[in-house]
Structure 1
Amino acid sequence: MSTAREVNFDGLIGPSHNYGGMSAGNLASAKNEGDLSNPREAALQGLEKMRLLVRAGFTQGILPPLPRPNFDLLVSAGFGGSDAEIIEAAAKQAPQLLKAAYSASSMWAANAATVSPSADTGDGRLHLTATNLSTMLHRSTEHPDTTATLLSIFEDEGRFGVHGALPAHADFADEGAANHVRLCGEHGGPGVELFVYGREAGESTVGFPARQTRLASESIARAHHLAPDHTVFARQARAAIEAGAFHNDVVCVGTLDTLFFHELAFEDTKATLAAVRRAGEGRFELKPVMVPQAEVPVEDAITSYLFNSQLLQWPGEDRLVLLAPMETQETESTRRFCERMVAGNGPIGRVQYVDVRQSMRNGGGPACLRLRVVMTDEEISSAHQGVMLDEAKIDALQDIVSRTYRDRLSPADLADPALASECRIAREALLEALDLSGLI
């Protein structure tokens, strides 16, 4: 059994971070639509979360923001001329499309890809499949640039298999690691991969969209050469989706042998847990931690993002740590539950709260901001080192953000052609600092 660790690749929040309210089913996004955002503060908050983990001894990576605005999208919609002319015309004729072109939602790296570590795959390589995010227009254009970024970081084909996105059809709707949990006895050992979907291919739903299909999850499992006996497909509860759990990671998070979830997370909780136990037999003994609806209403779980937290094996601690947003502490039911939980003798021994309010107001907590990649030491050494963070690199990135990002931005400001130039200058400086100039 090889030694491996969980590496968090956080998405760096981009300079066009704004509250455009484009995500149907995401209650926070809708609630704050049109408000002023602070891109500078947002990026600095994310970098401070990364610094916290670096200081604790975690291996921390980063994914740069994608190019914004996405001129390819605007040109494909019939706009032409200079950059300024394209922006001016789109602002007048198709403001919603301009908002989509400026979306900074790639910051939520949990939607960048689905990841299977080499301990689980038939060919012994670490596999990553970029997500098509086809349900939402503003996210559906991300995958070409995301794939290019992943190829730049995980370029050793002998160790890594980077797959492009699935077909951009409703039957293949895929939202990535936000609907995927890997469970195991230890990170370097073989595990169980739990894929959670909201609907079958061809099935239509009324109300908030179910963004993940079973076909998409099954297709990724095949591409990653996962053993069927150690792979589980479970349906997300429709009640959770209707309550605003647009991804499974809004009601469920897991790591190692622990699955932390809300009572309404799965359509059939008993069958889901039984399937995970069967798949993990001989590998690990599942430790489920269920939060009852009677103690924490699902609405509170979603408002506070209790489950959209990072569940971590903290260096030097014998129980897991839940890295949760401040909103979890400020919501009475979730705070009380966390206090009772850590006072017990269960697998989660501590909750640490972090400030990522700028992201939270757009509907993404600590877990949304990171892509978990279990890697061996050899795989870490083979990956692009420019994106591996230490405090000096975090300082350098924060300096770029402080110099190049605006401290206030409204959706109406997207009509300003100067913003496009600012976004380009900021991204190029960030890419140079990460030794990723090939992506410019």
Structure 2
Amino acid sequence: MSQSLSAIARDRNIRYFMISFTDLFGVQRAKLVPAESIDAIASSGAGFAGFAAWLDQTPADPDILAFPDVDQLFQLPWQPDVAWLPADLYTPDGNAVDQTPRLVLKRVLAKAEEIGLRIKTGVECEYFLLSASGETISDGRDRQSKPCYDQQALMRRYDVIREICDAMLTLGWGPYQNDHEDANGQFEMNWTYSDALVTSDRHAFFKYMVKSIAEKHGLRATFMPKPFAHLTGNGCHMHLSAWDPEGKENLFYDPNGMLGLSDVGYQFIGGVLHSAEALCAITNPSVNSYKRINAPVTTSGATWSPNTISYSGNNRTHMIRIPDAGRFELRLADGSANPYLLAAAVIAAGLDGIANKRDPGPRCDNNNYTEPLPVGTVKQLPAYLLDALRKFESDTILSEALGAAFSTAYPKLKRQAWNEYSAHISSWELDTTLDC
């Protein structure tokens, strides 16, 4: 960026900058900096107490410094006097805070570049629009058992959807469609794929943007994996392809390959399948995540989420789908996934697949909801977060690729969250065991 941030502020009438980082649990933390101070703060870093966020630090540790990526500036379309800047974390003596999710992704992408691969991704972020209290779906007339693509329900939320889509148009993301999803009150908005770090920054900003615009309209948006037991949950489907360093040739594309996918593409899929159980600790990072995968049938007739570690062609009942030549879709992740860790972990698993030429095995074309594969044919997904964390802790592929600092900090904090959940006495437990 040739201009200073203060000069950009003058040109664009920006009064404040949010220097923002995403912690290990996907929570966005920010300092609001007036334009008059932005150049100094961007140069020296915005100070944060690491223990106050979900990072593996103590109150005795020195401040961490957030240095904004000045080439990734997002001027808020709904509040244009404010701009958002994603940031990376460093110690006061200039060392990277290696557990920082955005830096974890950068390291994985650097490893891809070393072998001549430029990874591109796209994400499909599903969310619910709820009442301001978050207790009910915001549209009382949205009651169909099969509400997916419901035209009336979509247009009753036109003001919110239009404002979000208009914002993406203003930002230059190339949004191309918006729809009502499979659950009552649920929506999805699609924008054009890009380089993995660009998509992850946009993914992080998208979640902030959707929540902010929903609040502006007196509503509450949630990406929670399974807010309602009887409805389809919020997935975060990821599309991946690998390109040459210039981004001109799709190395996953082979017109002679099965379903138009190259050997490299299948090896990448093989790596994702091989590490899938450990991967779940990242793609499905919350206790609630495991109420979405392996879930019973919803009122719509299908959960649209996977239950086995398997892949297929254009078949949405498996963990991986190959909908088109030259790319694949991972249907495993949910709305609570950290935008940076999601990409980092999936790419790391795929790179291992390429390095070891992992065979994904035979394609599964069955309807996995009504005609499940025989027991033992493929592995099941973990049933609980604790199961996924144990797989992650015993896995060497992801831990080595994501780095020792992250691979120690992340499961440590996630186990704390699991223990907090385990200590909670639910109303179900009281209803079923109080009279024992």
**TM-score, structure 1 normalization:** 0.24
Larger Rg: 2
More helix, by proportion: 1
| TM-score normalised over the length of structure 2 | 0.24
